Structure 1
């Protein structure tokens, strides 16, 4: 199943909010048609992303690693390591549902423009 990630970009002088790119990886390819390719750009415009990048392979964005590790030396000289990992169960499904809703709204809007 495809994963969604956000790649934050450096802010420019005229940016009213931080720019970002939506990265979709582990994407299972379907037939590439012009309408499918433009759909990604439409999605980028709808969510305010600068672009949508789609990859079949896994792309790891180090800034998106949510694992926190804290190392501290105790008074007795022992080292204490604390590792915190987020519980993101269901997150991908929630995001994919919202993306599907946004895509449906875009398609409905386009149908309304063609009339």
Structure 2
């Protein structure tokens, strides 16, 4: 149930909606509901949201917000991202609290995945 004044939904641009959907399905097992040819929604993925057809993409170098996934197996997730067509733009690096990497999906958006420090 939505909570008053809490983040409820997120929408991202995609320069290639079909490729974005295929990437997230292959890398993370997401499914989508299409609402016309220029919008696809996802749900039950930690936060519900959607992708809309756009000539733009969200990247940190142009001031875009960064959506960060969590992984118990950072190297395994990195491999899945690459196999699904993601491009690594910042290889795994340490930061206070863990390690992470950044990638772009085929629709152009930059995202990141973080996990705990190596044991």
Q: Which has the larger radius of gyration?
A: 1
TM class by shorter chain equals: under 0.3
Structure showing the higher strand proportion among its residues: 2
Give the TM-score normalised by structure 2: 0.27
Which structure carries more relative contact order (alpha carbon 8 Å, separation 6+)?
2
Structure showing the higher helix proportion among its residues: 1
Give the TM-score normalised by structure 1: 0.28
